[in-house]
Chains A and B, each alone.
Chain A
C-alpha cells in the first residue's frame, strides 16, 4: 500500500476569517494506484468567532500535514515553494497553467467564496480536466491567492 504524506498550510496576517472553522482540502490521487495512495492536502484556518489573522497555511496530504507561512497575495503554489514544503513536483510548470500538478480540492465553503471573486477561467478548467482526482471543488493552487477579505481569492 502506498502512503503519502499529509501537508497543511496556514496563511499570513490580517486575513479575515469567517466565523466558522474553515477547512481547505487539497487532494492528489494516483489514477493507477489505489485509493489509499491519495495525497490529501488541506489547509485549516484558525477557528474563531471573531476576525483573526492567518499566519500559516496547512496542507494535508494523506496522513501528513505541512505548514507554510503565507504573505498576502501569495498563490498557494508560492506558499509551497517559498516554504520549501516537501511536495516535490507540485507546480511543475511554475504556475503557467500547463501541468495541473498544483491541483487542490477546497471545501465547498472555500470553493464558493473563491469562485465568487476569482472563478476558474477556461484555461484553468481545461487543465483541471487532467486532474487525476477531479472534484466539483477542484482548483489549481497556482491560480488561487491568499488575499485580505476572504482567504483564497
Chain B
C-alpha cells in the first residue's frame, strides 16, 4: 500500500513537471540534433524534446553516410541511445515524419517553445556537363546511400574495368575505398546486396580526378592514408613537375595539418615500386570535367577533362563515373534565406525568424563541411543558447503528436526503433555480421 502511494505520487510529480516543462522540437536525428539534445537535457533537466526525422530510422549520416569500415565512428550512437533510454518521458522520437510535408514548420513554431533545425544537407550538387545523364553516372552521395542501405536506392553496375571519381573530398575517398577493399566489409553493417555487388566488382582501375591542384584537396589525412594502405591495390599520386612544385611550396608554408597531409601525398607519388599491383588507384589533379561520352546503350564510356597543365583535352575510359562535388543547401519552406542562398542566421545559430525561437545546428546551418567532432562542438554551444531562452514560467505547449494522429501519419517511435535495431542485429548475427540493415520498411509501416 505504502509503495503504491509512493509510486503514484512520483508518477504525479513526473507528469506535473512534464506539464510545466518547456517543449523543444528537433528536426533531424543526426549528430547535430542528438548531440544538442544530450546537452540540452543536462542544462534544462525538465525539458521535453520531440525529435523528428524524415527517414524511417534515426541517426542520419551516422547510419547512412559513415562508411561501413568505419564502425568505430558509429560508437557515438551509444550516446544517442542513452538520451532516449534515460529519458523515456522526455525524449520522444518521431521517425518517418517529413517536416515541411507531413508537418509544416509553422506548426512546429506554434506548438513548441523552441525549434532546432538539424536536418543536414543531403542533396548532392549535380555534375552538369554534356552527357551527365548517361547510365552508370552517379553522385558520390547516391553511391554512399546505396552501399549503406538507404531505402529505394539504385545499384550501380560494377562489371566494367574503369572507374573515374571526380572530387577531392572524403566522400570520393570513401567511394574508392569501398570499391577497392570490399574484403574488409564482410562482418560490418553493409547490407548483403551491395556487399555482393562490391565483392564481384570487375573494376581494376580507379582514377580520382581533382579539378584543382594537389594543394587544394579537402581529404582528411586518416581517410587518405587508408587508401594507400589497401594492400591489394596500388594507390598512388600522379603529379606533373609544376604540380609537384606547387605541393612542395604549399607544404613549406602550410600549418601542421597541411604539412602532414601533403607529406602523405608526397610519400605516395607514382613510382615503379608503387605500381606493382594489377589493380590501380591513381590520383590526378588540375582536371576539369568537360563531357561524358556514352555508348549506344546510353552507358558512360569515357569522360573528357580539360587538363589545365597540359592545356588540352584528355579522355579517360570509364565504365562507372562517380562525382562528388559537394552538396546543395536545403532550405525548408518558410525559412529565411541570405544572399548566398543559405539559411539566414542572426548569429552563429539563431535563425532569423521573429515569431518563434528557431535555431540551427550541423550541416543545415553552415553547409556540408566538417566531421562529427565539428558538429558535436557546435551542438554543445547551440544547446546552451537554447537553454538560455527557454521560458521558465510556462503555458503548456502541446507538441504535434495529436496532429500526427489526426493526419494518420505513421511514425516510428523510439520503442519501435529499438525492436527494429534488435531485429537487424539478430539477422546480422546469423550472418556473422554486426547487423543486417532493413532495406524495405513498408511491411513495418503498414503494421500498426
- What residues of chain A have their CB less than 8 Å away from a CB belonging to chain B? 2-4, 28-34, 37, 39, 86, 88-89, 92-94, 96-101, 103, 123, 125-127, 129-132, 134
Contact = CB atoms under 8 A, between A and B. Distances in A.
B18 to A, nearest CB: 22
B222 A127 contact: yes
Interface secondary structure of A, over-half rule: loop
Interface string B380-400: 111011000000000000000
Interface stretch (B68-76, B141-149, B283-291): B68-76
A93 B380 contact: no
Interface of B: 35, 38-39, 42, 70, 72-73, 75-76, 78-79, 220-222, 225, 256-257, 260-261, 348-349, 365-366, 370-374, 376-382, 384-385
A123 to B, nearest CB: 8
Contacts of B38: 88-89
16 contacts: A2-B384, A31-B377, A31-B378, A32-B348, A32-B370, A33-B349, A37-B348, A86-B42, A89-B38, A94-B78, A99-B372, A125-B260, A126-B220, A126-B225, A127-B222, A130-B371
Given A28-B377, A31-B374, A92-B76, A126 B221 contact: yes
Contact of A130 (B72, B373, B380): B373
6 residue pairs, one from A and one from B, having the closest CB atoms? A96-B72, A98-B72, A92-B76, A88-B38, A2-B381, A89-B376
B42 A2 contact: no
Given A30-B378, A33-B348, A129 B260 contact: yes
Interface secondary structure of B, over-half rule: helix
Contacts of B382: 2
A89 B39 contact: yes
B381 A30 contact: yes
A89 B260 CA distance: 27
Given A89-B35, A130-B220, A97 B72 contact: yes
Contacts of A94: 72, 75, 78
A37 B348 CA distance: 10
Nearest to B62: A92
A114 B371 CA distance: 27
B42 A32 contact: no
B167 to A, nearest CB: 19
A39 B380 contact: yes
Contacts of A92: 75-76, 79, 372-373, 376
A101 B75 CA distance: 12
Nearest to B378: A30
Nearest to B41: A88
A29 to B, nearest CB: 7
Residue with the greatest number of chain B CB neighbours at <10 A, chosen from A3, A31, A98: A98
Contacts of A100: 371, 373
Residue with the greatest number of chain A CB neighbours at <10 A, chosen from B75, B220, B377: B377
A32 B384 contact: no
Contact of B370 (A31, A39, A97): A31
Contacts of B385: 2
